[in-house]
Amino acid sequence: MKTRMSLISLILLAAGLLSACASNAAPKEVMIDKVAETLLKETPADAMMKETPTDGMMKESPSAAMMNKVTPTAMMNKVTPTAMMEKSTEAMSTTETPEAMMDEDMTMAAPAWFAATLSDVRSGESFTISDLAGKVVLVETMAIWCPTCLRQQKQVSELHSLLGERADFASIGLGIDPNENAEQLKAYIESNGFDWRYAIAPVEVSREISQLYGDQFINPPSAPMLIIDRHGNAHPLPFGVKDTQSLMETLEPFLNEEM
């Protein structure tokens, strides 16, 4: 009897223990189930997938916002290559085309000193540089008192001997010292046997020559000279005395040039 009671007591105790364990485990299982359910409902991956590049991210991404404001089509509508070419052509046509620039160069006025009236001190004949258009003209600015000028003019005299009489070539000596006059210059050239044109340069002519070609052109000891070609373009020569041969070599291309 006692044995039977003991067995029943053990069974009841075991049942009580199992019941306690069951009651303690239930909350844990419930918590695990809830967490699992939450994780399954919305994982980080699911949250990210809700805003895919084609959905949320593309709706208001910086790139999309920029593209919505300025699309390539919008840019092309504003300035197309054709529009740019049309504007460039229009700008050229309204400013200066190459043809217009060439026409302007061809019609550009000659320097004012080309039209200044000069007087040949030997003959008293008046002339201008413009009267010699179509010829090659060698011009020297000089002074009677300048020994370098005299040396240079002797080389020019030999040049004339080599060239002979040429209707398409002329030499001019321009006296630029304002203290010298036509009679003094005439005496000077006759005493040295120089037979080309000499004239006293008006003050405005000397000033313009200096402005156009440099101050040394009114400094006679520099032996300043220039060539005016058949088209009326002036070509300053190097300073210092030029010998006959170098003058000939320099002049030949201009003399051989046709109008």
pLDDT tens for residues 99-147? 444 334 433 578 999 999 999 999 999 999 999 999 999 999 999 999 9
Q: Output the six-digit token pair for 30.
A: 């419930």
Query: Would the pTM count as exceeding 0.95?
Result: no
Looking from the CA of 226 toward its CB, the CA atoms found within 13 Å total 18
pLDDT tens for residues 227-245? 999 999 999 999 999 999 9
Average pLDDT of span 151-174: 96
Average pLDDT of the chain, as a whole number: 74
Average pLDDT of span 191-199: 97
DSSP type of residue 11: H
Judge contact between 111 and 208, C-beta under 8 A.
Answer: yes
* Domain annotation for the chain: domains and CATH numbers: 70-103 (no CATH), 113-256 (3.40.30.10)
